[in-house]
Amino acid sequence: MHTPPYEAVVILGCNITPTDGGFAPTTYKDHDEFGMLAGQMNVIAATYLWQQRAADTFLFSTGTSAKTRAAYGDDVPTEAQVYSRDFLERIQQLRDENPALSQLDSPHVLLEEKSYNTYTNMTEVLAILKYQGWKNVLLVSARYHIPRIQALHGLILDKLPEQGFDACHITFKDSEGIIMAADPGKYDEEIAAGYASEQAQRRAAIEAQGVRDIQEGRYHIGEFQLKPTA
């Protein structure tokens, strides 16, 4: 009997983009005022982790922000819904292309739909990990995102010691590294081009500033993405 190395894999959202059929995870071609977005790579990484049987359960995290509702309306789906649907559709496509993958169990998918930024991603995810009693999980997001996630994780453990969130060990891995290790060469050029873009450089600078703000005690943990209206 196979025992997965992790009790769950957590996939963080990275915004959504409209399509003819609804919404999809963002790609390197998408950006917001903070720079490049990279949601699709998180989902692709999840499909490789499923093939590797890294875990039986995949938890998709992120609800909707005020900024997203302002752009697309109050009935916009949560990022967790969009990302998990894309994940399951990609798995079905992989099974259609490779019948041997049908022997793998379908993933158990959970959604965290309350969060609206990285800080609430972590508080809501940690609450779920505690509720589930998990002790060892893998958390996946874009390469540029991981340092700030780790810094926020440390901040939350220090800020809320009474919650017992440190009972679960979290391994942090970037989606690009997972993909390149699992399928060398297939996405390397796309990833390199994405991270060489002007929007990627903007994102990297803002992420680095966020980490410094956390370390120096001036990080803003609320939702601040909406610009004031006249």
**Number of domains, the chain:** 1
Within a domain: 228: no
> What region does 58 belong to: left with phi over 0, alpha with psi -120 to 50, or beta?
beta
pTM, 2 dp:
0.94
The answer to whether position 82 is within a domain reads: yes
**Whether pLDDT at 180 is above 90:** yes
Average pLDDT over residues 2-21: 95
Residue 224 forms part of a structural domain: no
Q: Does 2 reside within a domain?
A: no
Residue 12 lies in a domain: yes
In a domain? residue 208:
yes
Question: How does residue 3 score in pLDDT terms, banded at 50, 70 and 90?
Answer: confident
CA–CA separation, 84 vs 102, rounded Å? 19
- Looking at the predicted structure, is the pLDDT value of residue 76 above 90? yes
Q: Is the pLDDT of residue 227 over 50?
A: no
Q: For the chain, what's the residue count?
A: 230
Report if residue 100 sits inside a domain: yes
> Quick check: is 1 in a domain?
no
- Please give the structure tokens belonging to residue 184: 């060398």
Mean pLDDT for the stretch of residues 142-154: 98
Tokens representing 216 are 């120096």
Domain that holds residue 98: 8-215
pLDDT(19) > 90: yes
Residue written as token pair 């060489």: 196
Beta strands at 136-141 and 169-174: parallel, antiparallel or unpaired: parallel
Model confidence band, residue 225 (pLDDT cutoffs 50, 70, 90): very low
